[in-house]
C-alpha cells in the first residue's frame, strides 16, 4: 500500500474520536496539546494518561477539559496498554504530550483512515526548520536504522517507525496485545500492523521544538538499545523458523569446518587424533538439528498466536 494517500476533509461530528495522550511531567506542554486538538477536533474526547508525574500535569490537563487517568506502572508501553483497554471509541488518536506534533493535521489523518478503510495512519515527522536541535541528527540516524531493520525483517513501507503521533481504528486498538513497557512500544505498534497485514499509511506532519523549559525524556542510546532488544525478541517470537534455521545453518557450517580436517586425518591414517574436537563437532551438529526442530515447533505456536490475534481483530466491529 502507498505510504501517503490523499483524503478530502469530511464531517467527523458523528464519529466517536478519542485523543489519548500519554504523559509524564508535561505540565508546560500538555495545555498546548489539548488546546490544539480541541480546535482541530471539537467533538473529540480528550484523555490524558498520567504516568506518575511529579509536576502539575494532571491539574493542567483537567483545567483544559481532559479526563485524566493515573497509570502507576512506569513506562510508555504500560500506559498504551491501559489507554487501549480503558477508552471506548471508533477512532483513536495517540499523540505525545510534549507539544511537538501538529494537531491541525489530525482531521486529515482521521479522514484518510476512514476513506481508505485503514487501521493505522502514522504522522511521519518533518522538521519545521525553526530550531536545528528539534530533530537531532543522531535521532534521525537511529530512526532510519531501526526502521530499516524492522522493514527488512517484517516487510512494509514505513519511513518513521518511531513517531509518537498515530491514528488507529477500533479494530487495531482492541486487538493489540501490548507487552512492551517503555518507548519501545512504537516498534511493537508497527510490527502488529505488519504481522496481521493491516492496511496502513503515513501522513507527513510538522515536528516542532518543545515549549521552552520542558525537557525530553528520551535517551538516544538507552532507548535505542531497548528498541533493538525489542526487535530481537519480536524476531524470535514472530519469525522463529527463520531465526532458528539461521542458527542451525551457522552451527552446521562451523561443525563441518571443524569436522573436515578430522575426517581427512582419519581417512589417511585411520586414527582420530583430536577426540575432544570430534565430540564437540558432533554436539554442534546435533544442536543444529535441534535448532531446526525448535524452530518448526515454535513456528506452529506463532501461527496459532497470530490466528488468535486475527480472530480478536475480526471480532471487533468495523467503525
Q: Would the pLDDT of 209 be above 90?
A: no
Compute the mean pLDDT over every residue in the chain, rounded to the nearest whole number: 85
Q: What is the pLDDT of residue 2?
A: 43
- Identify the domain boundary among 217, 237, 257: 237
Q: What is the pLDDT of residue 147?
A: 81
The residue with greater pLDDT, 256 or 18, is 18
What is the C-alpha to C-alpha distance for residues 85 and 62, in angstroms, rounded to an integer? 21
For the chain, what percent of residues have pLDDT higher than 70? 88
The residue with greater pLDDT, 110 or 186, is 110
What is the C-alpha to C-alpha distance for residues 93 and 108, in angstroms, rounded to an integer? 12
For the chain, what percent of residues have pLDDT higher than 90? 47
Average pLDDT over residues 110-139: 80
**CATH number, position 200:** 3.90.550.10
Q: Where does the pLDDT of residue 115 fall: very low under 50, low under 70, confident under 90, or very high at 90 and above?
A: very high
What is the C-alpha to C-alpha distance for residues 265 and 213, in angstroms, rounded to an integer? 73
- Could you give the number of structural domains in the chain? 2
Domain that holds residue 266: 240-315
Q: What is the pLDDT of residue 227?
A: 73
Q: Would the pLDDT of 33 be above 90?
A: yes
What is the C-alpha to C-alpha distance for residues 105 and 295, in angstroms, rounded to an integer? 44
* 137, 245: one domain: no
Q: Would the pLDDT of 134 be above 60?
A: no
Q: Would the pLDDT of 138 be above 70?
A: no
* 219, 279: one domain: no
* HSE (side-chain half, CA atoms, 13 Å) at 97: 30
Q: Would 11 be classed as within a structural domain?
A: no
What is the C-alpha to C-alpha distance for residues 38 and 19, in angstroms, rounded to an integer? 9
Q: Which residue carries 498466536 as its cell? A: 305
What is the C-alpha to C-alpha distance for residues 53 and 194, in angstroms, rounded to an integer? 33
What is the C-alpha to C-alpha distance for residues 249 and 255, in angstroms, rounded to an integer? 10
Amino acid at each position: 500500500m502507498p505510504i501517503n494517500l490523499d483524503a478530502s476533509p469530511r464531517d467527523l461530528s458523528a464519529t466517536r474520536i478519542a485523543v489519548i495522550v500519554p504523559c509524564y511531567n508535561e505540565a508546560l506542554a500538555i495545555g498546548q496539546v489539548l488546546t490544539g486538538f480541541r480546535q482541530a477536533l471539537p467533538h473529540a474526547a480528550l484523555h490524558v494518561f498520567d504516568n506518575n508525574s511529579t509536576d502539575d500535569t494532571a491539574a493542567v490537563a483537567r483545567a483544559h477539559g481532559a479526563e485524566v487517568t493515573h497509570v502507576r506502572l512506569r513506562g510508555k508501553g504500560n500506559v498504551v496498554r491501559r489507554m487501549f483497554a480503558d477508552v471506548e471509541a471508533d477512532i483513536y488518536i495517540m499523540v505525545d504530550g510534549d507539544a511537538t506534533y501538529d494537531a491541525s493535521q489530525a482531521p486529515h489523518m482521521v479522514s484518510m483512515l476512514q476513506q481508505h478503510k485503514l487501521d493505522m495512519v502514522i504522522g511521519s515527522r518533518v522538521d519545521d526548520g525553526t530550531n536545528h536541535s528539534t530533530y537531532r541528527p543522531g535521532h534521525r540516524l537511529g530512526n532510519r536504522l531501526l526502521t530499516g531493520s524492522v522493514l527488512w525483517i517484517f516487510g512494509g513501507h514505513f519511513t518513521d517507525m518511531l513517531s509518537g503521533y498515530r491514528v488507529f481504528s477500533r479494530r487495531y486498538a482492541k486487538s493489540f496485545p501490548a507487552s512492551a513497557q517503555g518507548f519501545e512500544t512504537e516498534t511493537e505498534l508497527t510490527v502488529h500492523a505488519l504481522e496481521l497485514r493491516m492496511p496502513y499509511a503515513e501522513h507527513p506532519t510538522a515536528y516542532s521544538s518543545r515549549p521552552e523549559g520542558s525537557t525530553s525524556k528520551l535517551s538516544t542510546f538507552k532507548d535505542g538499545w531497548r528498541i533493538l532488544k525489542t526487535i530481537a525478541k519480536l524476531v524470535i517470537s514472530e519469525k522463529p523458523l527463520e531465526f532458528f534455521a539461521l542458527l542451525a545453518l551457522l552451527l552446521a557450517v562451523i561443525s563441518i569446518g571443524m569436522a573436515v580436517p578430522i575426517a581427512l586425518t582419519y581417512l589417511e591414517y585411520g586414527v582420530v587424533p583430536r577426540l575432544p574436537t570430534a565430540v564437540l563437532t558432533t554436539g554442534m551438529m546435533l544442536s543444529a538439528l535441534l535448532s531446526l526442530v525448535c524452530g518448526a515447533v515454535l513456528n506452529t505456536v506463532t501461527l496459532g498466536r497470530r490466528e488468535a490475534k486475527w480472530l480478536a481483530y475480526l471480532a471487533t466491529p468495523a467503525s
